[in-house]
Amino acid sequence: MKLNRYVFIAILAIILTFFYLDGKLFYYGKSSFNFRDLNALQVKPKSIPEFEGGFCFIDNSGFEIIGRGFKYKGYDTVEVNTILGYGYNIDELAVLIESTDNRQYYAKFIDNKVEAKKSLAVEIINQDEYIGVDNLEWVDLSSTGQGKAFELTRNYLVLLLVVMFLILIFRIMRKKDDKNKKPPVRLRLNKNNT
């Protein structure tokens, strides 16, 4: 009975660790449970396979707002090739991009207060001209080591969780089988009957 309790506690610890790691993976666009938005702009990072464009950001309707191949009106010479990282605070998103001509820019997204409906305004800024970089919390996507480590650990935890559940189910089933078994019948030989 004690072993079942320890297995249950281990399963609970694995589930809590899984949700913690999944929350960290949100910033790399690889979260299984996207329960939140990045900021008040209601955008979320999303990681898709490279042949479909790779890392991008989506709005609250599920539409991509930036990703590989994007061009913006007024900035026709800048085409997004790679997203290297991004910074955010409560009302701003700055995405460090590399264009197809291998130059780096910031794509700055803010709430468009001019239009009545909820929309985003984008401004493309040269990398060395952006003011306010230090006021943002940054996520580096150029070195994917940390995101990969979180992802691998989360996936191994899922595997361990499945194994722990199987062990617990096996132990419970075995205990039920032991209760249903009849005790062996013992024959008593009487010494007087010989």
Q: pLDDT (tens digit, 9 = 90+) per residue, 55-104?
A: 899 888 888 999 999 998 888 889 999 899 999 988 889 999 999 999 99
Task: Say if residues 38 and 44 touch (Cβ distance below 8 Å).
Answer: yes
Tell me if 108 sits within 8 A of 94, measured CB to CB.
yes
Question: What is the arithmetic mean of pLDDT over 5-23?
Answer: 84
Tokens 């130059």 appear where? 103
- Class of residue 56 by CB neighbours under 10 A (exposed 0-12, middle 13-18, buried 19+): buried
For residue 142, what pLDDT is reported? Answer: 77
For residue 191 the two structure tokens come to 């010494």
Residue 158: closest CA among 5, 1, 2, 25: 25
Helix (H, G, I), strand (E, B) or coil at 176: helix
How large is the average pLDDT for residues 127-137? 83
**Is this structure's pTM higher than 0.85?**
no
Q: What is the pLDDT of residue 115?
A: 57
Q: Residue 117's pLDDT is what?
A: 57
pLDDT at 116 over 50: no
- Residue-level length of the chain: 194
Over residues 176-194, mean pLDDT: 65
What average pLDDT does range 27-42 have in this prediction? Answer: 80
Q: What is the pLDDT of residue 80?
A: 92
The span from the CA of 16 to the CA of 27, in Å, is 18
**Which residue in 82, 125, 118 sits closest to 101, CA to CA?**
82
pLDDT at 119 over 90: no
- CA 47, CA 107: separation in Å to the nearest integer? 18
Instruction: Say if residue 66 is exposed, middle or buried (CB neighbours under 10 Å; 0-12, 13-18, 19+).
Output: buried
Phi-psi region of 155 (alpha: psi -120 to 50; beta: other; left: phi over 0): alpha
Q: Are 130 and 85 in contact (CB under 8 A)?
A: no
Helices 145-180 & 2-25, crossing angle to 10 degrees?
160
Q: pLDDT grade, residue 187 (50/70/90)?
A: low
* Residue, of 36 and 14, whose pLDDT is higher: 14
Residue-level pLDDT at 7? 76
